[in-house]
Amino acid sequence: MSEKMKLTQEQQAILDGEKGETLAKVMETLVRYGQLFGAQSMVPVTSQYNHLVTSFGLKALGPVYELMDKLIAEGAASKQKFSADPRPVDKNVPSSFLQNFVFQNFMYTRQDFYEEQLSKLGLMEQDAFTCACYLDQVGNTPKEGDVLSWSESSAVVYANSVLGARCNRNSGIIDLMGSVVGYVPYFGLLTDEGRRATWIVEVKTTKKPEAQLLGSAIGMKVMEDVPYIVGLDQWLVSLDDGAKTYLKDFGAATASNGAVGLYHVEGITPEAARLGRELIADGARTYVIDDAELQRVYDSYPVVWKNKNAKPKLCFMGCPHMSLEQLTSWTERVERGLKEAGRQKVAIPTVFTAAPAVIREFEATPYGERLKQTGVILSYICPLMYMNNPLSGKMPVITSSNKLRTYTTARYYTDDEILAQITKGGN
């Protein structure tokens, strides 16, 4: 098994079963996984915390919980504490009696059980549930150069690109296994070579492109490759809170509409700022994005509502979870939009989602009350998990998240269009 990968004495002993059969299988999984990508060795995980994609006690994932039970029974707790993706249900989010019946009796029937499993395996704290774990308020922010065993595509692409950490696009379960043994196979985005760009993306739009739309276009074009983006630095001057929020949403779209795990933005992201065009590999292809290309991508999205002209019944913002900066700026935008429309409250039930820690900090500011006055609901929920309910899937739901659009029946609109819909009823 290990003839292609050079293991240390400790790693080999685990593989040979000296720490039990379950840990041996964990190591075998990681070694076989790494060998498929030509990994020659395993390297230590160096981040303080891990992050897991699986946060939901979904009845259908029974086999995953059985596997986790095996790890717990063998005392194979994670070597690191970890955060996990958002919880799937929140009673503050509007849902019908029937939707709730499906949530409680058919879908997330094992939520309490699973959260107990996560506690035993090393959850950071009781409400460490968010896809945006890297935000300051949450506290799972890796340092540049840290080696991670994370999953959650939007978190991995952010950690690699904006923070300069090193992490492959690990699947759920693999994430936990790397943390359990403390090592991950060395390949892909962990290596200098794997972080070089094989695409140059030239942004030539006449105004700052919508983050979610630009990310979608790039993701669908480059798929799993690494793009080096030029032309965006005219709008993102430095890596301030606004730029980080933009890149959070942009990256999530590249990762869900394609399979991007790392991007470089010239002059902005840490490796691009340090190494510049040295990051571009020989033979890199070029993709030019102008206004017409963004419009083409926008027009290509299928609308899968039964009645394409239905009045939206719900709006979700925050997939991935919104930042503090985003909640604040959106409060101002919604207030302005309502004032222009002569309304007191939003015209469509609207949910903004954010990490519990971000919500706490936001609600401690005057903006918390101001947002509440607009009628917008603030929740820690995962909109995707809400939309997975088939009854939710039949509802006309709108969103400015290209990730939510990709995985569900939610209809995508740009931020300006969403604002018009929720403040003016689409007029």
Partner 1 sequence: MREFQGRVVSPGKLTAEALVSHGGLNTLASFQKALQFGDKKATCGDQNNPDLYGKEMAGKALCLPRTIGSTTGGLVLYCACSMGRQPACLLFSEPIDSLAAAGAVLADVWLEGEHTSMPVVDSLGEEFLNYVQDNMTVNVLDGGRVQVI
Q: Which residues bind partner 1 (CB under 8 A)?
A: 25, 28-29, 32-33, 36-37, 53-54, 58-64, 67, 106-107, 151-153, 156, 168-175, 188, 223-224, 256, 258-259, 302, 304, 388, 390, 406-407, 409
**Which amino acid does the sequence have at 251?**
G
Give 168 or 350: the residue with its C-beta nearer to partner 1.
168
Give 220 or 239: the residue with its C-beta nearer to partner 1.
220
Give Cβ neighbours of residue 131 (< 8 Å, ≥ 6 apart). 85, 86, 152, 154, 155, 319, 320, 321, 382
Rounded least distance, CB 419 to partner 1, Å: 26
Q: How far apart are CA 321 and CA 354, in angstroms?
A: 4
Q: How far apart are CA 382 and CA 294, in angstroms?
A: 27
Q: How far apart are CA 249 and CA 67, in angstroms?
A: 33
Instruction: Characterize the bridge pairing of strands 227-230 and 197-203.
Output: parallel
Q: How far apart are CA 107 and CA 176, in angstroms?
A: 23
Rounded least distance, CB 191 to partner 1, Å: 14
Rounded least distance, CB 179 to partner 1, Å: 15
* CB-count burial class (<10 Å; 0-12, 13-18, 19+) for 56: buried
How far apart, in Å, do the first and last CA atoms of the chain sit? 63
Rounded least distance, CB 88 to partner 1, Å: 12
What torsion, rounded to 10 degrees, do the Cα atoms 205, 211, 216, 222 define? 70
Give 20 or 172: the residue with its C-beta nearer to partner 1.
172
Task: Tally the C-alpha atoms within 13 A of residue 115's C-alpha that lie toward its C-beta.
Answer: 13
Rounded least distance, CB 223 to partner 1, Å: 6
Q: How far apart are CA 156 and CA 137, in angstroms?
A: 18
Give 297 or 420: the residue with its C-beta nearer to partner 1.
297
Give 189 or 357: the residue with its C-beta nearer to partner 1.
189
Give 223 or 310: the residue with its C-beta nearer to partner 1.
223
Rounded least distance, CB 17 to partner 1, Å: 14
Rounded least distance, CB 74 to partner 1, Å: 13
Rounded least distance, CB 368 to partner 1, Å: 31
Distances (CA, A) of 237 to 15, 204, 215, 263, 357: 49, 16, 18, 17, 28
Give 176 or 272: the residue with its C-beta nearer to partner 1.
176
Distances (CA, A) of 421 to 150, 290, 347, 406: 36, 26, 7, 20
Residue 319 is encoded by which pair of tokens? 């997939």
Give 358 or 410: the residue with its C-beta nearer to partner 1.
410
Rounded least distance, CB 409 to partner 1, Å: 7
Give 302 or 342: the residue with its C-beta nearer to partner 1.
302
What sign does the dihedral 182-188-192-195 (CA atoms) show?
negative
**Which amino acid does the sequence have at 151?**
S
- What is the SS3 assignment for 259? coil
